[in-house]
Chain A
Amino acid sequence: MRDRTLWTWHIGAGVVILVLLGLHMAIMHLGSTLGISGSEPTAWESVAARAGSLFFTTTYVLLLGAALYHGFYGLRNILLELNPGPGLRRTIDVGLSVVGLALFAFGTWAALAAPGAATTMGG
């Protein structure tokens, strides 16, 4: 894929992160000043309630994908700036892709399995 396309996706992912991570930060860390704090956001009841919400599950997976792409593409740019040879460049491309995809698969499993855990184990 051409670098310009990858870079455009990087910027697009940044916009998605800005919105969704901003929302995540507001809910998790700015609840007191924004007046949106019901119960403690990391208490199991709150976690189970969010896990059972289609909105939160969808946005978690979207944020996961966008943040991993944005982060690993940024890391790739930093590494490629150090002028690696073609073999090492290929290793960086494949290695970062594999790690990024593995983290995405694991994080998506957690997001999709959480509603089941919440309903069967006291959520």
Chain B
Amino acid sequence: MESRPHPNRLGIRGWVGGGRWGFERYLYTLHRLTGLALLAYFAMHIFVTSARALGPGAWEQAMGAVSGPLFQVGEYLVFAAFAFHAVNGIRLAILELGFAVGRPIEPVYPYQTSVGRQRRLARAVLMIAAVIALWGGLDFFVLG
């Protein structure tokens, strides 16, 4: 069956309003925002770390330019964004493969949605990402 494109009337405004999708829609928004932030950081990271190809002087200079408490906090935010994006990405792959959505049921009134069945997985994602972020915080700010 040929699929027809349909207009995306809300555009980026649709990221903000959860509508009836609620909680999972905000995870979707956060997944996109963290993805875009990680891509921007990664592009800069490629340039900064390429200094290693020019020897120890260039490397020390590059590291000196990205040191200090502000960069440490920024680097930690990148770590936390990675933790969320990775764990939520696993959730998305699990759902795409058809797991954790419950068995198919007949569409009999009152209609039920599989969103409720996915919610436990969504909560687990947030908890696991939070644990990894706290773990990183311990290494970044306490032990590191």
User: A residues bordering B, Cβ < 8 Å?
Assistant: 11, 14, 17-18, 21-22, 25, 29-33, 42, 44, 47-48, 51, 64, 67-68, 71-72, 74-75, 78, 81-83, 103, 106-107, 109-111, 113-114, 116-118, 120-123
**CB atoms of A29 and B79 under 8 A apart:** yes
Q: Is the CB of B39 within 8 A of A110?
A: no
Contact B52 A103, beta carbon cutoff 8 Å: no
Q: Does B42 contact A (CB under 8 A)?
A: yes
For B56, the chain A residues whose CB sits under 8 A away are: 44, 48, 121-123
**Assembled-state Cα–Cα distance A113/B55 (Å):** 10
Interface class of chain A by DSSP: helix
Chain B residues near A21 (CB, 8 Å)? 82, 86
Which of the segments B6-14, B16-24, B104-112, B117-125 contacts the partner chain? B6-14
User: How near does chain B come to A87, taking the closest CB pair, in angstroms?
Assistant: 16
- The reply to whether B136 and A117 contact each other, CB–CB distance below 8 Å, is no
B135 interface residue (CB < 8 Å to A): yes
Q: B63 to A42, Cβ gap below 8 A?
A: yes
Q: Mark B22-48, 1 if CB is under 8 A from A, else 0.
A: 000000000010011011001100110
Q: Which of B52, B75, B139 contacts A51 (CB 8 A)?
A: B52
Please, how many angstroms separate the alpha-carbon atoms of A64 and B49 in the complex? Answer: 12
How many interface residues does chain B have, given as a range? Answer: 35 or more
> Are B55 and A117 touching (Cβ within 8 A)?
yes
A71:B55 contact, CB within 8 angstroms? no
User: Are A109 and B53 interface neighbours, CB within 8 A?
Assistant: yes
A85 CA to B112 CA, complexed, in Å: 37
Chain B interface residues (CB < 8 Å from chain A): 5, 7-8, 11-12, 32, 35-36, 38-39, 42-43, 46-47, 49-50, 52-57, 59-60, 63, 75, 79, 82, 86, 89-90, 93, 96, 135-136, 138-140, 143-144
Chain B residues within 8 Å of A71, by CB: 35, 38-39, 42
**In the complex, chain B residues whose CB is within 8 Å of the CB of A14:** 89, 93
CB distance from A121 to the nearest CB of B (A): 4
**Could you tell me if A74 and B79 are in contact, using CB atoms closer than 8 angstroms?**
no
Nearest CB in chain A: distance from B76 CB, A? 8
Given A14-B89, A64-B46, A74-B35, list of 14 further CB < 8 A pairs?
A11-B93, A17-B86, A18-B86, A22-B86, A25-B82, A29-B144, A51-B52, A75-B36, A75-B39, A106-B47, A109-B50, A110-B46, A116-B53, A121-B56
